[in-house]
Structure 1
Amino acid sequence: MKVIKNLAVVAITVTMFSCGKQIKEVKTLEKEIDSVSYAIGLNMSSQFKMNLKEVNNDAFIQGYLNGQDSTNLLIETKDIQKILSTYFQKKQMAQMEEQQAKAAKEAEEKFGENKKAGEDFLVENKSKDGVVTTDSGLQYIVMKEGTGDKPASSTTRVKVHYHGTNLEGKVFDSSVDRGTPSEFGLNEVIKGWTEGVQLMKVGSKYKFFVPQELAYGVQSRGENIKPFSTLVFEVELLDIVKQ
């Protein structure tokens, strides 16, 4: 991580004392290096204003001065990168969470009816004969029980045939229609699949009713998967792929 790129700079107080050194206000730029130094300061300041408004000006300037003469360091040099990386990772994560929350709110305002339709469907469906509901809310029906092994973990690679539809019965993906089974690791798919396929023995065929939070949630995936869609899959576990 480059400090100039990730730290944006502070507007330095024109006169202050730190570590016994005085920073004087510059009135004119007589030499080329004067202009270069001033330009770097302006550039860093504009970056700080955009990306790090909460900077502590006093600590920033003291750090700069201490770094110039390598005395009275409050942080060991070896720890600089770790401190900066940790801070900006947290900052980036907070920004991402804020953006995701905003996107979810906007999607719910637009697709709230789709979410409710899924919830209503699952409430009614869970009382039907043969439907099993797991602790996560995943629902399934055993269409055929196999006699082979079960996937050992969420990282197991499997070969399956499947047919996926939305609640309106519109097909959005089907290996059956393509005529070619699919292979993937169970940690590479939606949560409903990761959980559900681990319940199956090789040779089994289950029908899964996947709540939106175990599917694609706020995301849309093509014309037939709108945000907050509850999805229906018929899945046949053909084999556990040896690695």
Structure 2
Amino acid sequence: MRLKVLAGIALVSCSLQSVAALKTEADKLSYSLGAILAEQLKQFEGINSDALSQGVEDTLENKPLAFDKQEMFRLIEKARKDQEKKRQAQLAEETKKNLERGLSFLKDNAKKSGIKTLASGLQYKVIKSGQGIKPAENSEVTVHYEGRLLDGKVFDSSYSRNQPATFKLNQVIKGWTEGLKQMQEGSVWELYIPSELAYGPGGIPGRIGPSEVLIFKVELLSVKKDSQEKEEKKK
């Protein structure tokens, strides 16, 4: 359907002037307006490309419109509300599935050898034990990490960038803060983070769905000494 919509726009444009040669500012402006219009139309379903083309042509050529603009705005607003209602229903269904799958995974994972479960629900497995200091909540740490979804898809990795990440421990998701506070410098752990300790129902659009359990391999490379000393003095 989207291809038909774009084809309809292209036909109207071609009837006015060739889109092959975008030489002047007016040509480029016209093309830009068409591209922006197409982006806006992507949110709607069931668009009749012939009617769309007729509306564009009538407006550009100052012909009488089929009905008044008040009715047009009513139809557009109704379509937007319908699309939003559908989107919310899809989101609710996806959230429900992710919650059920996450709870099932964590329940089964807790029974596996080497898996520890904290009171918050955070789970971890020690891959390598370090001998260094443990960071405090406000410590600055440097880590290598790889984040995966339950289906195994990697959504982020400092290893692939060949660049460790440095941050304050209280500036990341709760599951990281709690997990890394338990680790000693030099340790490598795998964290299994419930959605409420990760990105919750919002997720990260395009990367992490709503209410998804996340799996992180985390290597604690270093704890900044001055930040650690300041934390110790506060105690």
Common fold, TM-score beyond 0.5?
yes
Deviation of 1:222 (Å): 3.8
CA distance in 1, matches of 2:110, 2:218: 19
CA distance in 2, matches of 1:105, 1:140: 34
Q: Which is higher, the Rg of structure 1 or of structure 2? A: 1
Question: Counterpart in 2 of 1:112?
Answer: 96
Question: Counterpart in 2 of 1:223?
Answer: 206
CA distance in 1, matches of 2:123, 2:189: 10
Matched, 1:127 2:111: yes
The structure that is helix-richer by fraction is 2
Question: Counterpart in 1 of 2:148?
Answer: 165
Which secondary structure does the structure 2 equivalent of 1:229 belong to? coil
Matched, 1:195 2:152: no
CA distance in 1, matches of 2:94, 2:157: 28
Instruction: Summarize deviations over 1:6-63 as a string: whole Å, max 9, x none.
Output: xxxxxxxxxxxxxxxxxxxxxxxxxxxxxxxxxxxxxxxxxxxxxxxxxxxxxxxxxx
Which secondary structure does the structure 1 equivalent of 2:222 belong to? strand
Q: Taking structure 1 as reference, are residues 194 and 178 closer, same or farther at Cα in structure 2, changes over 3 Å only? A: same
The equivalent position to 2:125 in structure 1, one of 123, 141, 160, is: 141
Is 1:107–1:218's contact at 8 Å kept on the other side of the alignment? no
Is 1:213–1:228's contact at 8 Å kept on the other side of the alignment? yes
Question: Counterpart in 2 of 1:21?
Answer: none
CA distance in 2, matches of 1:143, 1:211: 20
TM-score, normalised by the number of residues in structure 2: 0.57
Which secondary structure does the structure 2 equivalent of 1:187 belong to? helix
CA distance in 1, matches of 2:179, 2:89: 29
How many residue pairs get matched?
A: 140
Matched, 1:175 2:138: no
Is 2:95–2:201's contact at 8 Å kept on the other side of the alignment? no
The equivalent position to 1:150 in structure 2, one of 134, 143, 156, is: 134
Instruction: Summarize deviations over 1:201-240 as a string: whole Å, max 9, x none.
Output: 0000000000000000011214331000000000000000
Aligned amino acid, residue 237 of structure 1: L
Deviation of 1:156 (Å): 0.8
Aligned amino acid, residue 204 of structure 1: S
CA distance in 2, matches of 1:106, 1:119: 20
TM-score, normalised by the number of residues in structure 1: 0.55
Deviation of 1:195 (Å): 0.1
Is 1:150–1:202's contact at 8 Å kept on the other side of the alignment? yes
Is 1:170–1:224's contact at 8 Å kept on the other side of the alignment? no
- Aligned residues: percent identity? 46
Which secondary structure does the structure 1 equivalent of 2:160 belong to? helix
CA distance in 1, matches of 2:115, 2:139: 26
Aligned amino acid, residue 121 of structure 2: G
Deviation of 1:105 (Å): 9.4
Is 1:171–1:224's contact at 8 Å kept on the other side of the alignment? no
CA distance in 2, matches of 1:123, 1:188: 28
Aligned amino acid, residue 206 of structure 1: W
Q: Taking structure 1 as reference, are residues 144 and 124 closer, same or farther at Cα in structure 2, changes over 3 Å only? A: same
Question: Counterpart in 1 of 2:17?
Answer: none
Instruction: Summarize deviations over 1:149-168 as a string: whole Å, max 9, x none.
Output: 000x2111100000000001
Once the two structures are superposed, the pairs formed by residues 93-112 of structure 1 within 5 Å of their partners are: 107-112=91-96
Q: Where has structure 1 moved over 3 Å in runs of 4 or more?
A: 104-110
